[in-house]
Amino acid sequence: MTLQESTKESILEIFKKTRDRTLQLVKTLEVDDYIVQTDYFMSPPKWHIGHVSWIYEAIMSKIDSHYEFYSKEFSEYLNSYYQQFGIPHDKGKRGIISRPTVDQIFQYFNTINQRVIRFIRENTITEDVGKLIVTGFHHECQHQELLVYDLQRLLADQYKPVIKNIPPVASDIKPYSVNVKGGLYKMGYNKNEFCYDIELPEHIVYLDDFQVDAFPVTNEQYLEFIKDGGYESYKFWLSDGWEKVQKNNWSAPMYWEKKEGEWMIRDFEGFRKINPREPVCHVSFYEASAYCKWADKRLPTEAEWEKAACWNEEKQEKTIFPWGNQEPTEKHANLLESYLWKPTEIGTYPEGKSHLGCHQMVGDVW
């Protein structure tokens, strides 16, 4: 089966938009910013720009037997963990490499753009080939998220986004819980559109009845955990989590600092007071688990979370997004395309709540 010309044009349009958004994220950086790696688990902006282009090369090599990679040296540096393409460069040492230069990376980015566009326009695109190319889009979107993550750690409020919008006004709604009926639940994916391998295969699980909070845990709620000695007592922590608390001197979420007795956060907005109604961000699994134990709750399982987020009880079916199958808009969630550069208060997106009544299950982690 081959794709219609209209579908080919749609793929080209999404490709161009995705690539343009990546460039927009780094447009205001200085050349020195591109090469800094702030920690072993982060990556320099230069590497992200190159890697998202290299993935398209990896895809092209799968669908075109005559495809030649741009550069062997580039491939070694820009490969993340795909062993079939060679031994990747050590992730924790991406920032010690000065070549390829920033200028060379952008030349590479533009060259791969031209190659992909030419391939789509000049070749018959089968359904399988189209899926592979679309995989590249989704992969690049993941790295846009990682870029934002890295830029916050690298520059915080010194980063100047091209677009910055004003957050919507939130309601004064109070946190509450939602009751979810158990029973057999089909999770995963089996349709023909794009999905990640971790969503496969579709399978049936059994769920007991459960309750889930209708909103993400807020800064105010998490502060109570801190004030009650949450980081000072092993009894709330998994053993390896408590080991990390002691080894790394954890006392609050990443980017939180206590100044003159008041908790502050350093983010894209600058050094500001903690907003008690924003969802708490930048906590590890261990911190989330410890908070839940302190609060006499627990983290939901993957199946529980999915049902609370996507299940329409009235129609007895799942939807793609919590609010339905409609593509996200500024009324549904705080996403990259919202350009807010910080979380929004709980109750900001009533139109984005799930069918079962859970709010802000998508977005808001800045």
- Please give the pLDDT value at position 3: 53
DSSP string, 283-327: --HHHHHHHHHHTT--PPPHHHHHHHHHEETTTTEE-SBTTBSSP
DSSP string, 162-198: S--PPPPPPP-PPP-EEEE--EEEEES--SSS---GG
Rounded CA-CA distance 321/228 in Å is 36
pLDDT at 2 over 60: no
- Please give the pLDDT value at position 7: 84
pLDDT per residue as tens digits for the range 320-333:
999 999 999 999 99
pLDDT per residue as tens digits for the range 13-47:
999 999 999 999 999 999 999 999 999 999 999 99
pTM of the model: 0.93
pLDDT at 1 over 50: no
What is the mean pLDDT of the segment spanning 224-253? Answer: 98
Domain ranges within the chain, ordered by starting residue: 5-158, 172-366
- CATH code of 5-158, in short, is 1.20.120.450
DSSP state of 366: -
Q: Residue 83: pLDDT band by 50, 70, 90 thresholds?
A: confident
Rounded CA-CA distance 262/268 in Å is 19
What is the mean pLDDT of the segment spanning 109-121? Answer: 97
- Please give the pLDDT value at position 213: 98
Was domain 172-366 assigned CATH 3.90.1580.10? Answer: yes
Q: Residue 84: pLDDT band by 50, 70, 90 thresholds?
A: confident
Give the contacts of 23 (CB within 8 A, at least 6 positions apart).
Answer: 109
pLDDT at 308 over 90: yes
What is the mean pLDDT of the segment spanning 187-212? Answer: 91
Rounded CA-CA distance 255/247 in Å is 18
Lowest mean pLDDT segment, chosen from 6-20, 145-159, 212-226, 256-270? 6-20
pLDDT per residue as tens digits for the range 251-267:
999 999 999 999 999 99
pLDDT at 5 over 80: no
